[in-house]
Amino acid sequence: MEEKKTPIFYRFLRRLVWLFYPKTTVTGTENLPEEPCIVVGNHTQMNGPIVGELYFPGPHYIWCAGEMMELKEVPGYAYRDFWSFKPRWVRWYYKLCSYLIAPLSVFIFNNAHTIPVYHDTRILTTFRQTVKRLQEGASVIIFPEHNQKYNNILYDFQDRFIDVARVYYKKTGRALSFVPMYIAPALRTVYLGKPIPFDPAVPIARERERICGRLMDEISRMAAALPEHTVVPYRNIPKREYPKNRPLEVYAHEQDPS
């Protein structure tokens, strides 16, 4: 696999984060297929990308919002996605922050193991790069949550990332698998579930719905089965509003009252 050279300053920053970020364990690695796969997890704000970069085993790349890799686009995207729902009286501060972080964001995300993600016609570039990395033997990590809440663990998944499997199948003739991942910063652990294979014989719209549904439910089930802990949500809300996970039986009862 082609390994890009990284600047000394980036290696210094990465080492610094590694030193100060809580050490994290990855469990369930036996569930990773022998072939490269798509790993799908809860974003947990900054925790997902950090854990993915520092602790995920084997060669891998992380989908990253393309706007965070372009100097002119960082401020608007960062404010809108991270801080636009902050109280009005402090929004000026976060607007300022969105400009201040722009140079550092561009430097970090263009030197980390990332694939830029776009939501316009440039998505074809995202898919091509993703398939290329998979063919090179790297897995790809995706955090597809968006603003619609799914349950106390997750926000709803955007589903078009499933289309990568169709492109990959056409290119290679091999069915890609999607591995659910639950990140629990409070437990300093990442949990990997059993892979969900793509079925190329099924219409893509049905596969999007089926695979996304199974991924969200499996991640939720893994989270609910763990000891009680604070869940870091997708949205950057006040910490006092962070939800707790719930015991598996409570979650299962609410899903199936019978």
How many domains is the chain partitioned into structurally? 1
In a domain, 94, yes or no: no
Which residue is associated with the tokens 């089965």?
Answer: 225
Side chain identity at residue 145, one-letter code: E
Cα 188 to Cα 28, 34, 182, 206, 228: the distances in Å are 14, 26, 11, 35, 13
Domain of residue 26 covers 11-56+114-255
In a domain, 39, yes or no: yes
At 43 the pLDDT is 96
In a domain, 193, yes or no: yes
At 248 the pLDDT is 46
Asked if 198 and 186 touch (Cβ cutoff 8 Å), the reply is: no
At 3 the pLDDT is 59
Nearest CA-CA partner of 114 in 157, 67, 82: 67
Asked if 131 and 167 touch (Cβ cutoff 8 Å), the reply is: yes
Q: How far apart are the first and last CA of the chain?
A: 51
In a domain, 161, yes or no: yes
Model pTM?
0.91
In a domain, 78, yes or no: no
In a domain, 179, yes or no: yes
Structure tokens at 173: 């003739």
In a domain, 89, yes or no: no
At 1 the pLDDT is 56
Cα 38 to Cα 133, 168, 227, 240, 246: the distances in Å are 11, 11, 27, 33, 27
In a domain, 137, yes or no: yes
Which residue is associated with the tokens 């663990």?
Answer: 153
Q: How far apart are CA 131 and CA 72, in angstroms?
A: 28
Q: Which spans in the chain are helix H? A: 8-20, 47-55, 74-78, 91-100, 102-111, 123-135, 163-172, 204-224, 248-255
Which portions of the chain are predicted below pLDDT 50?
248-258
Q: How far apart are CA 213 and CA 206, in angstroms?
A: 11
